[in-house]
Amino acid sequence: MVREWDPRTASSAEIASLLDTLNAVLAADLPQDPPWRETFLREYLAEVMPGERRISWIAHEEDSPDGSPGRLLGHVHVLLLGDIGVLEVMVHPGARRNGLGSRLVRLAAHRVYQEGFQSIGVEVVGDTPAVGFYSALGFVREYVETRGVLDLSTVDWSALSSVATGFDPGYRLEFHPGGPPDSLIETYARAKAEVRDVGDGDLELRPSSYDPQRLRDSLDCLHRRGMQPYIVLAIHEASGEVAGLTEVVVPAQHPTRADQYDTIVVGEHRGHGIDRAIKARMLLELRSAEPQLAEVQTWNAQANEAMLKVNAELGFRPDRDWCEYGVDVGELVHRLDALG
Ligand SMILES: CC(C)(COP(=O)(O)OP(=O)(O)OC[C@H]1O[C@@H](n2cnc3c(N)ncnc32)[C@H](O)[C@@H]1OP(=O)(O)O)[C@@H](O)C(=O)NCCC(=O)NCCS
């Protein structure tokens, strides 16, 4: 049975069943990743940025005669943002290769088409069944990043302390749990705009926020989804401007593994040891702010050699390819309809 599904009004049993399926998928496809918890899972699935919409469907077994709900076998959602629909689909490992994944994608693709969107993008993790699946559906790989994972038990904390202070005079570092203070939001947004025009082919499935109001909205959205942001800033003392920033989020759903988001050093402030220092300071701060944390994961374009080098020095180990695939919605609908 497949039906449209709204996580805001879903029963607790459905949320729990979705969690079971998600963890079965992780155990099968990414066995090194920590299992997810139910904390803030509903909010994670329901909350979106202003102007965005997420539409979801679930596939589940028939309810049993005693009325208890059937197990959730699959889930798909599409996030409509800008001019693209971003798709996520999962099928329980015990229910795969029966056409369910294709059926779920077909539902979502029809809706995206009806809504007038041109293309669908999806994140595909290397060395998982999703590669063969999306290729079979005609999706094309458009962008590749490498995920790196840092095991905090391997960190030399005293060496890291020297890195955290090893930047040139004229700057100071600030740690801001929760996000940048409002007094710095304008200069923070200007620093983030530095990476906007890189034009490296990224489909922007995880768009950053470049203007102050969008940045505030984005931080609010993170908090509502149960994702705690931490920021380390390098401030240029003479101008008071943000010269560099690094962002980490600790998700309530997997609080032992944090996500490293953007790290940016503004062009004119490069070459002063800021990138290493802000990342090192962040790890030191997280060690006391989030004592349960065991790992940090990050994603970098393979062309971004400077960042890959800093990450390697800090102890991040390359883990998997993390790809963005895209497809024209009309073509996808046509192909899936032809499959029947
Ligand atoms: C990708 C996924 C959705 C596929 O679901 P599914 O129900 O097995 O897909 P389908 O049965 O509709 O497969 C359709 C076609 O895709 C291709 N395909 C699917 N799985 C494949 C695999 N493991 N290897 C190669 N091709 C595959 C085949 O061509 C298949 O047709 P066939 O079975 O007639 O040969 C499922 O494996 C899944 O949930 N993966 C995890 C996705 C995810 O979100 N992961 C996040 C953490 S990694």
Pairwise CA distance, residues 56 & 284, whole Å: 39
The atom of ligand 1 lying closest to the CA of 30 is 48
Q: Which atom of ligand 1 is nearest to the CA of 125?
A: 48
CA of 102 to the centre of ligand 1 (A): 8
Q: Whose CA is nearest to atom 36 of ligand 1?
A: 91
Q: Cα separations (Å) of 219 from 52, 209, 229, 239, 266?
A: 15, 9, 8, 25, 21
For residue 328, report the distance from its CA to the centre of ligand 1, in Å: 20
The pLDDT profile of the chain, 340 residues, written as one tens digit per residue, is 999 999 999 999 999 999 999 999 999 999 999 999 999 999 999 999 988 999 999 999 998 888 777 999 999 999 999 889 999 999 999 999 999 999 999 999 999 999 999 999 999 999 999 999 999 999 999 999 999 999 999 999 999 999 999 999 999 999 999 999 999 999 999 999 887 655 455 555 555 567 889 899 999 999 999 999 999 999 999 999 999 999 999 999 999 999 999 999 999 999 999 999 999 999 999 999 999 999 999 999 988 888 899 999 999 999 999 999 999 999 999 999 998 7
Rounded distance from Cα 124 to ligand 1 centre (Å): 11
* Positive/negative CA dihedral, 189, 194, 197, 200: negative
Residues 6+ apart with CB under 8 A from 317: 148, 149, 150, 151
How far the first Cα of the chain sits from its last, in Å, is 17
22 φ, ψ (degrees, to nearest 5): -60, -45
Residue 259 CA to residue 251 CA, distance in Å, equals 8
Is this structure's pTM higher than 0.75? yes
